Structure 1
Amino acid sequence: MRLGAYTACLHDRSLDETLKILGELGLTSAEINTGGFIGAPHIPIDDLLGSAGAREDYLGRYRQAGITLTGLNVNGNPLNPDPRVGPKHAADLRRTIDLAAKLGVKRVVTMSGLPGGEPGATVANWVVNPWDSQYLDIVDYQWREVAIPFWRDIQARAADADVKVCIEMHPHNLVFNPPTLMRLVEQTNATHVGAEMDPSHLFWQGIDPVAAVRHLGDLVFHAAAKDTRINGDNVKLYGVLDDRFTRTPADRNPLNLGGANTLNQWPESPSWQFVAVGRGHGDDFWVPFLQALHEVDPDIAVNIEHEDTELDQIEGLRQAAENLLAAAQKAGV
């Protein structure tokens, strides 16, 4: 098992400094962003696609640092009906599969995407609970007309490249839990599309990530180490479907997510929030989680994703790394 980090949180550091930080924290794996919602601060994609020498030099920097490049991350919405967003994110995913094949990296992480609710729509539409037949009509259209054709093509590309595409089960996507992941795999006859097991998005939905790993079995290709803290007093009032987000003021340079879309601000007193490994759940979760992943694939990469707003870049990574490495030791993996 490789324990490492997804380097998006160190986007303002050079690649060499980033790898040095990971090594000093005792980590041996790195996952690098290649497009989608975030740019590619740590990888010169065009150079690497065009030059075998550039690829050898690039991978040599990892070897020198004692780090293995275990994944390319291109999270975005490749099914977004906004013509400024969906086509670009889809192209980023296709290009990342090509790049992974050339680099010998076997895992590409992404999201399933979310289409509009009907032909001609211009905004994505997530149906949370299709109790009314009109909502089920939307879901049927999204899967049958948009998602399945797209993902059949991605499956074919990934199989040709001998690369596994790992879907982060993320709400506001068609694939957000184990049943929807299996639906996508079954309806596309996928052999090279499966799950990136990120427990943080499952916790607040009430899903047991260990049970999810065992249910999906060898469809789990890759994993993230990110925790979630459920704030009990707040969830009693607001529930887990907490909609009290606010727009990020322009003078605070909101993160652009494609087109005119930007990242919003969380509520001041959220029902739940992303935290570093160990700050939401202790060893009673992380030890069996790592053991379950090891049972599926002893060589699986588990990369920290730092989104704990209460901790800065380095402190968040440090706490997550210490707790993840300690849990791995106790798990015997």
Structure 2
Amino acid sequence: MKLGVYNAILHDRTLPEAITVIAGLGLTGIELNSGGFLPATHIPTFDDILVSDTARDDFLGLFEGTGVSIAGLNCNGNPLHPTAAIGDRHAEDVRRSIRLAERLGQHRVVTMSGLPGGEPGVTQPSWIVNAWNSAALDVLDHQWRIAADFWRETDRLAADHDVKVALELHPQNLVFNAADIVKLVDLTGATNLGVELDASHLFWQQMDPVAVIRHLGPLIFHAAAKDVRINTAAAALYGVLDNRFRRLSPDEPRTNLGGDEWANEWPKDAAWDFVALGRGHDVAYWTEFLRALHEVDPDMLVNIEHEDVSLGRIEGLEVASAVLLEADAALSASLVGSA
């Protein structure tokens, strides 16, 4: 497998500086953000690369001799958002990322399935968490029609460009568990839609990432190495759907998600937290995570995503990469031993 880093945590550096950090960690891949919620910071010549072989070759030349190469593109966003200023732009980012991937010799684009509004004419998405009543199923029927139309067309584009689109199973999206991705593929007849297996969002939903990998098999296209710690005392009071977020004011540092939407502040004593690898699940667990991915594809791209706010950018990557490399070495040793 190819082990790397999703580059958003290194957006404070230039691309060559980010590559140097990743090489110093002993990793070999960088997953480049190409739009959506975050800008394509490390692809400043994006538009030129789409049309110019010289621009493409100049960009690829930045990786020569570094020991680090591109390990997929990432444009996580909401391409089905009912507000055009967000949904239309994020949808176009997905299409542009597919075209860019082909230009760069890449075959994986990571994104999210998106989430439409609950009925025609609304401006905000509506996430049905538990469809126990018939009205909720009516909303889902409406949303699935929108999603199927978009992803059917996008799948054709991806197939035309020899790209697999890997959807992160992320809550507040229509597709957030194993049943949903199977439903989307069945509805669309897709050949190039599958999953980016980010373990973190499965952990806090009380799902088992290893079981999900083995259940979905060839629908797993790509993976993110990101851990979660359940804080049992808070979870006992608030559950894993802990919703005590705080709205950040315009004079506070905050992340724009498109239009006039912004990321909120996490609860201070949250029921669960994103943590660096090893702080929620040990090396033995990550070894089995890699083993399951290896069973699907020995060349799977597995990239660290660092969102542990208790650790600095480099510190968090160092902690995570040490665990991931130890797990990979343990897997390799066990495969040799069983040969």
Question: What's the TM-score once normalised by structure 1's chain length?
Answer: 0.98
| Conserved 8 A contact 2:76-2:111 | yes
- CA apart distance, 1:185: 1.0
Partner of 1:152: helix, strand, or coil? helix
Helix, strand or coil at the partner of 2:84: coil
Deviations 1:243-289, CA, capped at 9 Å, x for gaps: 10001232222111000000000000000010111111002310110
Stretches of structure 2 lacking an aligned partner (at least 5 in a row): none
Listed one character per residue, the Cα deviations across residues 192-247 of structure 1 (whole Å, up to 9, x for unaligned) are: 11000000000011110000000000110000000000001110000001010001
Residue 251 of structure 2: SS of its match in structure 1? helix
Q: Are the aligned partners of 2:155 and 2:192 in contact in 1 as well (CA < 8 Å)?
A: yes
CA shift for structure 1 position 64: 2.2
In structure 1, distance between residues paired with 2:213 and 2:181: 12
Superposition map of 1:89-238 within 5 A: 89-144=90-145, 146-238=146-238
SS in 2 for 1:63: coil
Structure 1 position 63, deviation (Å):
2.5
> Paired residue for 2:247?
247
Does the residue aligned with 2:302 lie in a helix, a strand or coil? Answer: strand
The residue identity in structure 2 corresponding to 1:74 is C
Cα contact 1:218–1:296 (8 A) shared by 2: yes
> Corresponding residue for 1:292?
292
TM-score under structure 2 length normalisation = 0.97
Equivalent position of 1:40 in the other structure? 40
Verify the 8 A CA contact 2:169 2:198 in the aligned structure 1: yes
Show CA shifts across 1:286-321 (max 9, x none): 011000000100001100000000001000011000
**2:122 is aligned with what amino acid?**
A
Q: Identity across aligned pairs (percent)?
A: 55
The answer as to whether partners of 1:148 and 1:187 remain within 8 angstroms in 2 is yes
Do the aligned partners of 1:33 and 1:73 also contact (CA within 8 Å) in 2? Answer: yes
- 2:291 partner SS: helix
Alpha-carbon distance in 2 for matches of 1:172, 1:280: 23
Paired positions, count: 332
Off by >4 Å, runs of 4+ in structure 1: none
Which ranges in structure 1 are unaligned for 5 or more consecutive residues?
Answer: none
Deviation at 1:9, TM superposition (A): 0.5
